[in-house]
Amino acid sequence: DVKVTQSSRYLVKRTGEKVFLECVQDMDHENMFWYRQDPGLGLRLIYFSYDVKMKEKGDIPEGYSVSREKKERFSLILESASTNQTSMYLCASTQVSMNTEAFFGQGTRLTVV
Amino acid sequence: GQNIDQPTEMTATEGAIVQINCTYQTSGFNGLFWYQQHAGEAPTFLSYNVLDGLEEKGRFSSFLSRSKGYSYLLLKELQMKDSASYLCAPMNTGFQKLVFGTGTRLLVSP
């Protein structure tokens, strides 16, 4: 059974803290994505990675960074968490071929207080 | 960049048919995905269209017109469990960046 696993389901952090959200996939997928989802705004792409150590900015990268040291793991980093980063964060992975579906993790609901 | 437009919300009754439209503008188009997302859950794959025309898969069908930048998802014989958000995602070439529309929330009533 294919799997994308996010390290936490719920997380509460304080303003200014450095936050790490981890995502691991066991399907040997090349592409990995981080999204945030907010009511009325849909899924917005933060960053994606198409290979180890390779990354591309999505539509809303400000305030975030990412790390992909191993193929199976893609980390999202909030350098200094702020209350406007309170959101649901979703990780996804896909193979390189064009018609492959994306598999999503279960999501991490982050609250910054 | 990409521009994706879907209606925000739709309502329908059980047993009916509903069509959810999606228009898009994207550079280097290479196919379009539809995903379903129930409240509090992750999106799950419904369909993928790369050629013009209708792809049927049980109660769900998806249509694509590449020249018009238009797709729709057709849901037949609606059931209560079809109440969910439906996300349109055109795929571009290059790095295969997967970007979603804001989604259409469908409410199915008895």
| Strand pairing class (A87-94; A31-38) | antiparallel
Rg (CA), chain A: 13
Which residues does residue B25 pair with via DSSP β-bridges, in sequence order?
Answer: B3
Per the CB < 8 Å rule, is B42 touching A59?
no
In B, minimum Cα distance to A41 occurs at B102
Q: Are A59 and B48 within 8 A, CB to CB?
A: no
Residue B96 has pLDDT above 80, yes or no: no
pLDDT at A100: 77
Decide if A97 contacts A108 (C-beta within 8 A). Answer: no
Q: What is the pLDDT of residue B52?
A: 96
pLDDT greater than 80 at residue A98: no
Reported as a single tens digit per residue, the pLDDT across A27-73 is: 999 999 999 999 888 899 999 999 999 999 999 999 999 999 999 99
B32 contacts B22 by C-beta, under 8 angstroms? yes
Tell which residue, B9, B4, B33, has the closest CA to residue B20: B9
Q: Label residue B12 by pLDDT band (50, 70, 90).
A: very high
Using an 8 Å CB-CB cutoff, list chain B residues near A59.
99
Between these two residues, A111 and A96, which has the higher pLDDT value? A111
